[in-house]
Amino acid sequence: MGTQKNQTDIEAKIIFIMGVSGCGKSTIGKLLAKEFNIPFFDGDDYHPKENIEKMANGIPLNDNDRNGWLKTLNLLAKKQLAKNSCVIVCSALKASYRNLLNKDIKQQTVWVHLAGSFDKINERLNNRSNHFMPSKLLKSQFEILENPEDALQIDINLSPKKIIAIIKSNLMNTSEFGLFGLGVMGKSLCRNLANNGVKISMFNRHVNDTEENVAKNFKAAHAELSNAKAFDDIASFVYSLEQPRRIMLMVNAGKTIDLVIEDLLPYLSKGDVLIDGGNSNYKKTKERLDYLLSKGIHFIGTGVSGGEEGALKGPSIMPSGNIKAYKSIQLYLEKIAAKDKNGLPCCTYVGPEGSGQFVKMVHNGIEYVEMQLLAEVVTIFEAMGKNLDEIASILESWKETAGSYLLEITNIILKKKEGKDWLVTKILDKAGNKGTGNWATIAAAELGTPNTLITSALFSRYTSFYKEERLQLSEKITKTEIPKLQLSINDVYEAYQFARIINHYQGFKLINEAAKKHSWNIQLSEIARIWTNGCIIRSTLMENLVETLKETNNILTDTTLLNSLNSYRYGAKKVVSQSVLNDVNTPALSEAVQFFNGITTAYSSANIIQAQRDFFGAHTYQRLDDESKKNHHTNWN
């Protein structure tokens, strides 16, 4: 790591390192040249013979003597500039000397002044075994030193490593934050960062014919990116960042993340922070975090929600991992995050390991359900004989009490026409997915939490995918041709609201169970808070849950919510039963009703299951009339 050096964004720059004798110019100059892989020149090596002789005889050089020498160094600088950057060390104590040194190349010159007190430098010089400089001579240097105001002043008491880091970040105009991967989300985040005054470097790979000059073209297309740096070369991108580096990866989740990590590793240094802002699997995040930690690199798995617009104007951000590493990126994430109603960023440290991506995964699970419920609501209204414009105005009227981002967009979608027709009626009815709903279902199964709505929404998407089979079967099965749903708009509203509460109950339960299992100490109210803006599942219900979850981790223990469920229950049951009777497909609404029925049943049918298990597998059962909780077995035959 950190061994393959490349020239950073310092093209056509001469770095003059100046200061009195003994300030450490040569040491720092050599290190810097090595760091950037650019040539190093010691000004003292360019003195004409006469000057060398004079100095050897202990005669100090006058301005006249220096004139030719400084001109020689100026020529050297110009010559170098035509090819490359370089480091030149030279005492350059007077302004007039510096004017000669950077004559005609002022714009391409940077000055670093290694500054220290007389006593410190005197002590240093006298400690050099093969060197002795009379303090009188050093004093005279201090006397003629004209402080270079436009130079970067660096205290020589700092370690060489620190000095190099300061030079790099200040003089090389390094960026504070790097964004790797300029897809839709990556691009929007770049603009968001730049709009918030963050100095950024942007990288997109080069692929012949398909991805050429992506970063450069993107920069050119947006005024706010005029100060951003654009790269298609990984090394230059990494070296353009101040250390410890902050690099956000916005690439496809899955194998690509691992490949990108391997591509970056050779150029990273200990303490750098990689942020994965994709929808990665939380278990993989933990593996990557451990792997990178073994190399001294921090890994922050971060949920980012809000789609393209959210990423540009303010997403909801769910970071996790090492808390210290998070602190070094917190400022940036908070800057670009959406703000809640109190002006606080919709970004919070979720917890260790992959907890941020777990929470984002559940966010998506809740999102799947909210989408599915709206789709079912539309289906019911259609079955009730309403056209899409009429349905849109019904949804519009629900905004006040059931407002959400997804309700809003569905309303807009329903109204969208293509010619005389509604656009949605032309969309192939196969719902895609990228995996987070699937993982949420797996996680629920692993943890043993009944996330029946996520599962139902996911499996509805899967069912939709069997288009051919659906077509064939639909021809063989007789269904109600003209449904006669005996329902009011309010019944549907109640069913929708009922199922949404169950959805949020199940979602937060899943997070809570995972937090307990992994000791993540997740604050559910904080999660609800960062989901009140920027993300896809923002809603008035979520606003209310912020308060509810301050009191309890189980929203069904909240009397207000329980009362709401109770009052919506009748409508929900009516909608589900009428849908069933009329062959209207409403899996998530049905599941909500059934789940509520199950979770509010004091004595369930699980006794029969236990008896069956004991019958064929001697799995034993406990008895209600035996408080010892002893396992019993019966020979059932």
Residues labelled as active-site residues: 360, 367
CB of 305 to ligand 6PG, least distance (A): 3
Q: At what angle do helices 355-383 and 587-599 cross, to 10 degrees?
A: 110
3-state class (DSSP) for residue 262: helix
CA separation for the pair 193, 200 (Å, rounded): 7
Q: DSSP characters for 189-228?
A: HHHHHHHTT--EEEE---BTTTBSSHHHHHHHH-GGGTTS
Residue in the structure block whose two tokens are 């770049």: 190
CA separation for the pair 60, 57 (Å, rounded): 9
Q: DSSP characters for 585-634?
A: --HHHHHHHHHHHHHT-SS-THHHHHHHHHHHH---B--TT-TT---B--
By C-beta, is 7 or 433 nearer to ligand 6PG?
Answer: 433
CB of 455 to ligand 6PG, least distance (A): 14
- Chain centroid to Cα 311, Å, comes to 10
What are the structure tokens assigned to 109, written together?
């010159």
508 near 542, Cβ under 8 Å? no
CA distances from 392 to 374, 426, 501, 616 (A): 11, 17, 22, 54
CB of 343 to ligand 6PG, least distance (A): 22
CB of 364 to ligand 6PG, least distance (A): 5
CA distances from 546 to 319, 336, 555 (A): 19, 22, 10
By C-beta, is 168 or 363 nearer to ligand 6PG?
Answer: 363
Instruction: Provide the binding-site residues for ligand 6PG, judged by CB under 6 A.
Output: 279, 305-307, 363-364, 367, 432-434, 436-437, 535-536
The 8-class DSSP code of residue 281 comes to -
CB of 322 to ligand 6PG, least distance (A): 24
By C-beta, is 436 or 582 nearer to ligand 6PG?
Answer: 436
What are the structure tokens assigned to 441, written together?
């279902």
Closest CA to 545 of 530, 529, 522: 529
CB of 340 to ligand 6PG, least distance (A): 17
CA separation for the pair 361, 365 (Å, rounded): 6
Length of the chain as a residue count: 637
**Residue number of the CB atom closest to ligand 6PG:** 305
By C-beta, is 321 or 534 nearer to ligand 6PG?
Answer: 534
CB of 313 to ligand 6PG, least distance (A): 13
3-state class (DSSP) for residue 148: coil
